[in-house]
Amino acid sequence: MGKRFPREELLAPGHRGCAGCGASILVRMALKAAGRDVIVVNSTGCLEVFTTPYPETAWRVPWIHTAFECGGAVASGIERAIKALKKRGKFKDRKITVMPIIGDGGTADIGFQALSGALERGHDIVYIMYDNEAYMNTGVQRSSATPLFASATTAPAGKRSKGEDRPKKDMAMIAAAHGIPYVATACISYPEDLMKKVKKACEIEGPAFIHVLQPCTVGWGYNPEDTIKIGRLAVETGFFPLYEIEHGEFRITYRPAKRKPLKEYIRMQKRYRHLTDEDIEILQKYVDERCKLLGLE
């Protein structure tokens, strides 16, 4: 991996991310894969807040943040502006990648419409959804990407509640339904797979959508040193399968030798600590069904 991807860090150290923050790991990898000819768009959220408290910035690439629900639209404007500038002779023979890096709330909830518009219009963008499965910036409120039975502050576990009562919204498949040339899932615990996907997304003309699972030490409730381990378990258990859909062609990109029991993943996280073995069995069945559907037995 070291040979294929540069050592240069385009997200500077010293930002205010938590120890063990999965989002900052994702950004480092994505920018290594994309290189310097990139313009990053953030929506309001953790990443924006911890990287840019004025007058500080951690970004060594051009970066913009406007509001919460409009990352797709801001990226659309930038992409077309680059086209216009190219007509004037700027950025000659260069492919500038417009890369929204936006959380699950900014993508699956409040920014859903702007995302759908951007994908449907065919803008040449690489949209990365960094999914920590809740509104971590504002205190772990549930989003539509929060998985079934996870406890969140607006879907708390209690005497009459097992936490979130709806399964996770499947953003990668929703993106794929737009008929865009490239869709993938990835996880920060599989850096080479992730970076290969980002690189491919940058090269492909037209919209690309990469759904990246990114464990969050605060929101999920685990020790900071376990971020990578938890991500691995999400993939090894089949909770979060890694695949890509390139020009309509579906392909599993990582196939665990033998899927681990979901319990190993669940028991490491405080957000699931209210669950009984029977509850976990329900989740296991759900994961089994999804894996079967994707051909990941």
Partner 1 sequence: MERVDVITGTTAAAIGVKLSNVEVIAAYPITPQSECVEMLAKFIADGEFDAEYIKVESEHSAMAACIGASATGVRTFTATAAQGLALMHEMLYIASGMRLPIVMLNTNRALSAPINIWCDHQDSVTERDTGWIQIYAQNNQETLDSIIQAYKIAEDEDVLLPVMVCIDGFILTHTVEPVYIPDERKVRDYLGIYEPKHAYLDPDRPITQGPVGVPECYMETRKQINDAIERAKEVIKRVNEEYYQLFNRRYGNGLVEGYNLENADTVLVAMGSVCETIRYVIDRLKKKGKNIGLLRIRTFRPFPKEEIKEMLEGAENIGVLDRNISFGLNMGALGTEIMATLRDKKICNYIVGLGGRDITPRNIEEIVKHLEESKDVETKWIGLKE
- Does residue 64 touch partner 1 according to CB under 8 A? yes
Token digits for 98? 């417009």
User: Among 75, 136, 176, 198, which residue sits at the site for partner 1 (rule: CB under 8 A)?
Assistant: 75
- What kind and span of H or E run contains 101? strand 97-103
Among 25, 47, 73, 150, binds partner 1 (CB under 8 A): 73
Minimal distance, residue 184 CB to partner 1, in Å = 24
**Residue 34 contacts residue 97 (beta carbons within 8 Å):** yes
In this chain, which stretch among 22-30, 68-76, 126-134, 179-187 interacts with partner 1, using CB under 8 A? 68-76
User: In the structure encoding, which two tokens stand for residue 231, read together?
Assistant: 């991500």
Give 83's contacts (C-beta < 8 A, 6+ positions apart): none
One of 20, 33, 69, 231 touching partner 1 (CB under 8 A): 69
Pairing verdict, β 242-246 and 182-187: antiparallel
CA angle 57, 217, 54 (to 5 degrees): 15
Nearest to 38 by CA among 13, 63, 71, 55: 63
128: CB partners within 8 A, 6+ apart = 26, 30, 99, 100, 101, 102, 198, 210, 212
Among 55, 249, 258, 293, binds partner 1 (CB under 8 A): 55
Looking at residues 20 to 39 of the shown chain, list those that interact with partner 1 (rule: CB under 8 A): 36-39
The answer to whether residue 41 forms part of the interface with partner 1 (CB under 8 A) is: yes
Q: Cβ of residue 99: shortest distance to partner 1, in angstroms? A: 11
Residues numbered 83 to 112 that lie near partner 1 (CB under 8 A) are 83-85, 87-88, 96
Q: At closest approach, how far in Å is the CB of 226 from partner 1?
A: 29
Q: In Å, how far from its chain's centre is CA 87?
A: 33
- The minimum distance between CB 160 and partner 1, in angstroms, equals 37
Q: Which of 47, 163, 34, 39 is nearest to 105 (CA)?
A: 47
Binding site for partner 1 (CB under 8 A): 36-39, 41, 48-49, 52-55, 57, 59-67, 69-70, 72-78, 80-85, 87-88, 96, 113-114, 116-117, 120-121
